[in-house]
Amino acid sequence: MRRASRVYLTCANVGKITLLRLFLLLYVNVVNYFIERFWSTKNFTAALADKVITSRAVNRFKITARLAQCAAKQAKEIVRSQKDRKIKTMPLLRRKVATLDNRFVKIEEFKGEAFDLGLSFASGMPKVTIPINQTAHMNRLWGHGWRTGATIRLGMNRRGVWIEVIFEKKRPELRTEGKVIGIDRGLRKAFVTSDGKEIGAELRDQIRGKGKRSNCHFPEMNPEGFRIIQGCPEH
């Protein structure tokens, strides 16, 4: 399982942010270059890009071989998204986002008292260190057994330059005990289970008052171990 926690790099000086912005603009051009190459040769495989192709990108964009391989991998994933579509259209990377592994970015404890963490960039990226503070969302994930993964995302939008720290956690094993039941949704009764239990019948008047076109929000209930997810019944 994966979760992402986004942090805007508001604590960095203007010079460092400018370098990251220029890098992102270059990186998007490299990814789109690879997309056009893979698309023109109908290369929808998941295999790593051939060295001949990445070498051309290195010479053309003056980047490192490692960064070229990283951009080619992201381009492959974008191209493969069209593989099973009946009508295939060549995609393009329009968002200014780079998916980077731990060869390019390291997250370490910041050497100082003002900030919690430091992001160090390398391997063909601007060699800068950006300070950030841990967010409440990060702390919640760490507190529930999530761990930082091998990749991060670097991007920018109208609000500024941001980084998404990717958290990973092993998916819990499926339950093998207990029984399986079916649940039917309706208007008069929110839910009726296959073993005859009725859930949410007391909400009938509230549902009628909302009208057929409004969004209904059921409160969370847990009778006899059932969990009700917020939603709207079918009309």
Please check whether residue 199 lies inside any domain of the structure.
Answer: yes
Please check whether residue 57 lies inside any domain of the structure.
Answer: yes
pLDDT above 90 for 229: no
- Residue keyed to tokens 């963490």: 117
Give per-residue pLDDT as tens, 52-91.
999 999 999 999 999 999 999 999 999 998 887 888 889 9
Question: Of 53, 101, 56, 105, whose CA–CA distance to 76 is shortest?
Answer: 53
Number of domains in the chain: 3
In the numeric block, which tokens belong to residue 110?
């910041």
Q: Kindly state the DSSP code that residue 116 receives in the 8-state scheme.
A: S
pLDDT above 80 for 17: yes
Same domain, 178 and 163: no
Residue range(s) defining the domain that contains residue 207? 174-235
Please check whether residue 18 lies inside any domain of the structure.
Answer: no
Query: Would you place residue 235 in the very low, low, confident or very high pLDDT band (cuts 50, 70, 90)?
Result: very low
